[in-house]
A and B are shown apart, each in its own frame.
Chain A
Amino acid sequence: MTSVERFWKAITLEPTDRVPVSPFIYYFAAAQAGVRIHDFIWDVDRRHRALAATYTAYERQLDALHLHTFRFPFTSPFPSVYSTLYFDWRFARGSSTEVPQFMPGAEDESVYDRVLARGFASLIDARRIDLGEIEENDRAAARQRAWLDWWAAQDVVDLAGPMTTVPADILMFARGMEGFIDVRTRPEKLREVNDAMTPGFIAWSRMAAERSGARIQRISPQNFSTDLVSPKTFETLCWPWLRQMVLAFVESGYTVLLHLDGHWEPLFEYFQEFPRGRILFELENCDMAVAKRALGGMACLKGNISPRLLAFGAPAEVEDACRRLLDVCAPGGGFILSSGCEVPFNANPENIRTMVRVATEYGAY
């Protein structure tokens, strides 16, 4: 069975020869290849060469990888937490190892009315517009397409796709920690923004996927995990629009990847209405036994070996964690062995090797 077959059968909950393995590799690849973080972000060729070196180092067993190049989200003209037009990301250009730092916004409470009246473009900080990099994106996009063709020829699934969220989630980042109280003091503003802007967010993601050929739509409503808000707040300020997005993407033929950092167990019941075999839950901290019971019959789960363990644990500990996870999640299929969110920059390469070996040996059906 090829990686492409294995991955997509796992998504649609069909039998596979083994559990697919796909640690969430970003900057770890740069560290392994000795590529400067700045080049890894902005230079398409260096980014993909580094990832290809990592893929080869693990004997071409990684079934799926995130293949986008960060220059595109960092220069996105559409509102996104990752766009430098909207948010203050600090790049340590002189450092070979330091990853970009996100600086939360400090907008006041008038931001909702301003965005409703004059749009998200009113939030763009003109000082951070790098026209040279935006122009360069045309050339970079051609290189990116060439690399995606190369990866397809290697039998690797591209997990990247347009990344979006419910519109109010972005304004919660723009308000920063001081403004988080808005979920209690002005919930009607968050709902108003979601109502007005969600159709445009859906339309943009569809257009972006059509341009790039992506089969996956990624949604990550980061401020609505139960680490941060109550289920009631999720239900009233996030769920109706998250549901609208997921169902719109599914109707358009996409697989929806829900990247859910933090804890979401009390919210799993909401997701049970989604169509079977069309959703991939990329889980970070959730109890995977709970996830398997609640969602295993309708969706593929991906997770969630602890980044802390991958960085500081011994290979024997990683092996034990992988085996326990497979015991819980592999039966019946619909599971992809992965890290809980990102493989850290400083992960022990032997721990990733162990993860791959356990998937290919112990994860065989």
Chain B
Amino acid sequence: MGRPGGEPAPAREQPAGDVVSRVLWGREGWRPGEPWSPEKLRAFLAWLKATQAPEDPRP
């Protein structure tokens, strides 16, 4: 069933994606409807690398 105005309903959440999301982000970071996806995770890693990672000093 579409939303008012003919906008399609959001896709049903993948329960598997949700529980995987909970492993990665915990109860505070996990949001139903924001399940894990490879693209999101890659974007997260790029963000983490850019914002929190000084260069590894090891040779």
Main secondary structure on B side of the interface with A: helix
Residue total for B at the interface (Cβ-Cβ under 8 A): 29
The answer to whether B45 and A119 have CB atoms under 8 Å apart is no
The answer to whether B56 and A207 have CB atoms under 8 Å apart is no
The answer to whether A197 and B45 have CB atoms under 8 Å apart is no
Q: A77-B41, A121-B29 are in contact. Are A127 and B23 (CB under 8 A)?
A: no
Bound CA span A202–B20, Å: 9
Q: Determine the chain A residues whose CB is within 8 A of the CB of B29 once the complex forms.
A: 118-119, 121
The answer to whether A117 and B26 have CB atoms under 8 Å apart is yes
Residue total for A at the interface (Cβ-Cβ under 8 A): 31
Residue among A79, A117, A167 making CB contact with B27, cutoff 8 Å: A117
Bound CA span A129–B44, Å: 11
Q: Is A196 an interface residue (CB 8 A)?
A: yes
Q: Is A206 an interface residue (CB 8 A)?
A: yes
The answer to whether A124 and B48 have CB atoms under 8 Å apart is yes
Main secondary structure on A side of the interface with B: helix
The answer to whether A129 and B53 have CB atoms under 8 Å apart is yes
Which chain A residue lies CB-closest to B26? Answer: A119
Bound CA span A77–B44, Å: 10
Q: Is B42 an interface residue (CB 8 A)?
A: yes
Q: Determine the chain A residues whose CB is within 8 A of the CB of B27 once the complex forms.
A: 116-117, 196
Residue among B26, B41, B42, B54 making CB contact with A116, cutoff 8 Å: B26
Q: Mark B20-59, 1 if CB is under 8 A from A, else 0.
A: 1111111111100000001001101110110111111000
> Which residues in B have some Cβ–Cβ distance to A below 8 Å?
15-17, 19-30, 38, 41-42, 44-46, 48-49, 51-56
| Given pairs A117-B26, A121-B29, A201-B23, 13 additional interface contacts (CB within 8 A) | A78-B20, A85-B45, A119-B29, A119-B30, A124-B45, A126-B51, A127-B55, A127-B56, A134-B45, A200-B19, A200-B22, A202-B19, A203-B16
